[in-house]
Amino acid sequence: MRSLLAALAALVLPCVAVVPVHAQELAAGATVTVANMAFAPAKVRVGMGESVTWSFQDAVSHTATSDEGFFDTGAASGGASRSIRFASAGTFAYHCTFHSVMVGKVTVPMAATGSVKDGWKLRWLVGDNPKGRTYDVQQRRTGTKTWSLFRNRTTAGSGRFDPGSGSWQVRARTIKKERASGWSPTLNLS
Ligand SMILES: [Cu+2]
């Protein structure tokens, strides 16, 4: 019986070791198909540090070019792929430089760990800060309309938020040479 279990374990364990890695690869990032003069899906959401891959299927060249100068895939066609990594939170609108009707968006939410009681560690950037980039972070009590400043043009990638009580919302954006991304999706802290 014991040897049977060992044999089964030997069979099962390699699968167990492989499956999580595979699942992680599938979960991380997003793919946008560029075909028939359109980005599909036009809006994708990735976590900080994940990549978006554009697969350029048309015979004619297209680009995925950030509206605010954050990234540019350059021209590609005929099945070529280009990947861009998104290290920080925001909403990044982009277009094709050749065809102005082709537009899309990448949304990158910020992250939080902690609790109301212990306070929150907020993160809006993973890894080192790329040169020349700063971040705005805002907070508001859930149910209120007006956002308040939490960080203004900071070069830090994270910070502590200790509201003490209540339910809060936060959001962040990335700035490069005074050109700002849109705000990240609202993150609920409760
Ligand atoms: Cu195009």
Q: What is the dihedral of CA 95, 131, 185, 85, to 10 degrees?
A: 60
Q: How many domains does the chain have?
A: 2
Q: If you average pLDDT over residues 18-29, what whole number do you get?
A: 50
Tokens, residue 108: 């990158």
Of 108, 131, 152, which closes a domain? 108
How do residues 30-74 score in pLDDT, each as one tens digit? 999 999 999 999 999 999 999 999 999 999 999 999 999 999 999
Q: Is 100 inside a domain boundary?
A: yes
CA of 91 to the centre of ligand 1 (A): 21
Kindly report the CATH number assigned to the domain that includes residue 170: 2.60.40.10
Instruction: Specify whether 104 is located in the same domain as 115.
Output: no
- Helix H or strand E encompassing 56: strand 50-56
Which domain-ending residue is among 74, 108, 142? Answer: 108
List the CATH number of the domain containing 82.
2.60.40.420
| Cα within 13 Å of Cα(108), Cβ side | 29
pLDDT digits (tens, 9 = 90+) for 75-112: 999 999 999 999 999 999 999 999 999 999 999 999 99
Q: Does 86 map to a domain? A: yes
Ligand 1: distance of its center to the CA of 40 in Å? 13
Distance CA 15, CA 28 (A): 20
CA of 97 to the centre of ligand 1 (A): 6
Domain span at 87: 26-108
Instruction: Please indicate, yes or no, whether residues 99 and 33 belong to a single structural domain of this protein.
Output: yes
- 36 Cα–ligand 1 center, Å: 9
| Residue 125 DSSP class | B
From 43, 78, 108, the end of a domain falls on: 108
Rounded to two decimals, what is the model's pTM?
0.85
188: which 2 tokens? 């609920």
CB 170 within 8 A of CB 189: yes
Distance 60 CA to ligand 1 centre (A): 8
Domain assignment present for residue 6? The answer is no
